[in-house]
Chains A and B, each alone.
Chain A
Amino acid sequence: MESYLFPFDSLICMLLGISFTVWFTLLLVFIIVPAIFGVSFGIRRLYMKSLIKLFEWATLRMERGAKEKNQHLYKPYSNGIIAKEPASLEQEIQEMRRGGAEPEFDMSDIFYFCRRGVESIVDDEVTKRFTAEELESWNLLTRSNYNFHHISTRLTVLWGVGVLIRYGFLLPLRVTLAFTGVGLLVVLTSIVGLFPNGRMKNYLSDKVHLMCYRICVRALTAIITYHDSENKPKNGGICVANHTSPIDVIILASDGCYAMVGQVHGGLMGVIQRAMVKACPHIWFERSEVKDRHLVAKRLSDHVADTTKLPILIFPEGTCINNTSVMMFKKGSFEIGCTVYPVAIKYDPRFGDAFWNSSKFGMVNYLLHMMSSWAIVCSVWYLPPMSRMEEEDAVQFANRVKAAIARKGGLADLLWDGGLKRGKVKEVFKEEQQKLYSKVLVGSSEDRSRS
């Protein structure tokens, strides 16, 4: 029996050997070398264009199939499902009065609050910002299709082929690249750390960081378009951006060099952090130090004051939002008093949903999702630098920056706090409502008593 296996055995070994060599050569030539030099063959853009055509075809097929069966396709809405009156509290209550009578309390006033309350039960602005955005067309990933029922066999076959390609080919490729990128980052930054401080070391550290981040970008098949690069952040400033996922860091850092801010972690993350800080100064905080706001502010200002150090990268929302809106910025980074370079990041949800719903998925699960999507397509806009003006305080400055980012990225500018994902509404919001209503009532009854 063994004699039968021998010739096959060596044949198989040979084939495996050849395929590995071919695989690695391709990897090196098409992905790693361009990453080192920062050039691109344009393969990813071609891939993106063909995917778009494919999705359009798939959506048309589904619509046609639904029409044949005389059924309605359920189209999800991200902008609200009920008609909400934009009229303010005062206007509504005036309308409700029997007209002519002086505004005083009426039993019907409760209708306004009641209706608004029930409207928020049916559809509210905040809850939907923390679940993944719903798509109007289908991108052949079951995770974004809420009622997956095949409408035609052809489409199911296509979906099946898609699964094979994504999990059988793309995922192993990406995992290999990710390991390569991270491994190189750790090794090379440690080597650069051995150099004496000076221009040479900074130059090498920049190159090494950029190269490794570019490999990671390719590990996610991220297709990024950078706009307005003349506004790129410079030393001695802080770069703020809206936050959708941990990948934001990789996306920004592959186009420029930043000093990262974060908590010290253990495990693999800790190894990476320690290696990175050898090559150039990043700001890592111990868990205990994070609570001390003054300490944090001092370290950030010290870093910013030293113009040889890189600009700091901060995400002021404090948590991952689903990329349809920008939530309230925490004012800490805006109190430091240096130039702020805002950056807007907008992901294209058609190719893969980059939003990390940390209450639903853990980090590993999330990375798996990312690496088995078609691609991550996003646009980055560098906005012109902003500084705090004389009359504004930190909160107003933060809101101004937030509005600029939201406008550029085409995201809704929300007043709500990202902390609402987990925390309770502050009493102050309820008081606002009470104040408005009392102005309508009591303001006018005072006039009455005077007359």
Chain B
Amino acid sequence: MGSTNSTLLKIPNVEVLMRETGFSPAHIIRLHDRFKALDKEGRGYLCPQDFGAIKELAMNPIGDRIIGAFFSPRETVDFHTFVKILAHFRPVDKDRPKEPNSPEPINSRSNKLKFAFQLYDQDKDGKISRDELLKVLRAMLGMQVTEEQLESIADRTIQEADLDRDDAISFEEFRKSLEKVNIDHKMSIRFLR
């Protein structure tokens, strides 16, 4: 036990981090402890193997895609990046005043959707091709369904969502097809305290 201020001081640029992500000091400390627990060798950054060591993540059918979402433009993840990516999963602040000039918060509905979109769109061309969709379906269903079933599911999905008929789902089409889904509830993680 100790005072929270002293731990916060150990993290560089923590004010900026809190402002950008909207996490409270207590949450930053919890994430910092978690970061240190995952960083078993104490190097100050994480690499894909550290995430791979989390058993529940390895068991997740799209676990490696999630790890990819953390690492794709970079090879190591430092604490700031860790927190910024996890900030996507903060519950939306309902009573935040809308300042016209401030940048969009990381946990906005649109950014949450972008995070989910990149799990589908692995080659980052801004579109989910039929092939990419098949790959995700295969990951989530494994060997439990046949190739034909997968293809029919993929065809049906593209048919419903693809509005400009280019046989791929762009981000706008993705967003439109999910406009009635409560993203905040499904893509948010709440801290207990």
Contact = CB atoms under 8 A, between A and B. Distances in A.
Interface of A: 62, 66, 69, 71-77, 80-83, 96, 98, 104-128, 131, 137-138, 145-149, 151, 416, 420, 424-425, 429-435, 437-439, 441-442, 445
Nearest to A422: B53
B128 to A, nearest CB: 8
B1 interface: yes
B1 A433 contact: no
Contacts of A124: 54-57
Contacts of A81: 30, 34, 191-193
Interface in B130-162: 136-137, 140-145, 149, 153, 156-157, 161
Nearest to A417: B55
Contacts of A114: 62, 66, 115-116, 119, 187
Contacts of B4: 71-72, 74
Contacts of B177: 107
A77 B137 contact: no
Contacts of A108: 178, 181, 186
Contact of A82 (B26, B33, B54, B192): B192
Contacts of A73: 1-3
A122 B140 contact: no
B74 interface: no
14 contacts: A74-B1, A75-B1, A105-B137, A107-B120, A110-B120, A111-B181, A114-B115, A121-B66, A126-B55, A147-B2, A149-B3, A430-B58, A435-B144, A441-B141
Interface of B: 1-7, 26, 29-31, 33-34, 37-38, 51, 53-63, 66, 86, 89, 115-116, 119-120, 136-137, 140-145, 149, 153, 156-157, 161, 169, 174, 177-178, 180-181, 183, 186-193
Given A82-B191, A118-B89, A441-B145, 17 more contacts: A74-B29, A81-B193, A83-B189, A105-B157, A110-B62, A110-B140, A114-B62, A114-B66, A115-B188, A116-B60, A117-B62, A127-B54, A147-B6, A429-B58, A434-B142, A434-B143, A437-B141
B148 to A, nearest CB: 11
B192 A83 contact: yes
Interface centre among A123, A137, A431 (most CB of B within 10 A): A123
Contact of A445 (B37, B149, B174): B149
Contacts of B61: 113, 430, 433-434, 437
Contacts of B53: 127
Contact of B7 (A74, A104, A138): A74
Nearest to A118: B89
A122 B2 CA distance: 22
B59 A430 contact: yes
A111 B136 CA distance: 12
B142 A438 contact: yes
Contacts of A125: 56
B51 A107 contact: no
Given A72-B3, A114-B62, A438 B145 contact: yes
Nearest to B31: A122
A76 to B, nearest CB: 8
A400 B183 CA distance: 41
Nearest to B7: A147
Contacts of B193: 77, 81
B189 A69 contact: no
A106 B174 CA distance: 11
B39 to A, nearest CB: 12
A119 B141 CA distance: 21
Contact of B55 (A137, A425, A441): A425
Contact of B51 (A109, A121, A126): A121
B66 A118 contact: yes
A107 B30 contact: no
Contacts of A127: 37-38, 53-55
Nearest to A62: B1
Contacts of B142: 430-431, 434-435, 438
Contacts of A121: 38, 51, 54, 57, 66, 86
Given A113-B61, A120-B54, A124-B56, A107 B187 contact: no
Nearest to A430: B59
Interface centre among B26, B29, B55, B58 (most CB of A within 10 A): B55
Given A71-B3, A114-B66, A445-B149, A104 B51 contact: no
B1 A115 contact: no
A128 B116 CA distance: 28
A73 B5 CA distance: 10
B57 A120 contact: yes
A424 B34 contact: no
Given A74-B1, A98-B181, A113-B61, A434 B86 contact: no
A147 B156 contact: no
B153 A104 contact: yes
A145 B3 CA distance: 12
Contacts of B190: 82-83
Contacts of A105: 137, 153, 156-157
Contacts of B115: 114
A437 B61 CA distance: 10
B80 to A, nearest CB: 16
Contacts of B143: 431, 434
Interface centre among A82, A107, A424 (most CB of B within 10 A): A107
A121 B39 CA distance: 12
A109 to B, nearest CB: 7
A80 B56 CA distance: 14
B190 to A, nearest CB: 5
Contacts of B55: 124, 126-127, 416, 420, 425
A117 B144 contact: no
B2 A148 contact: yes
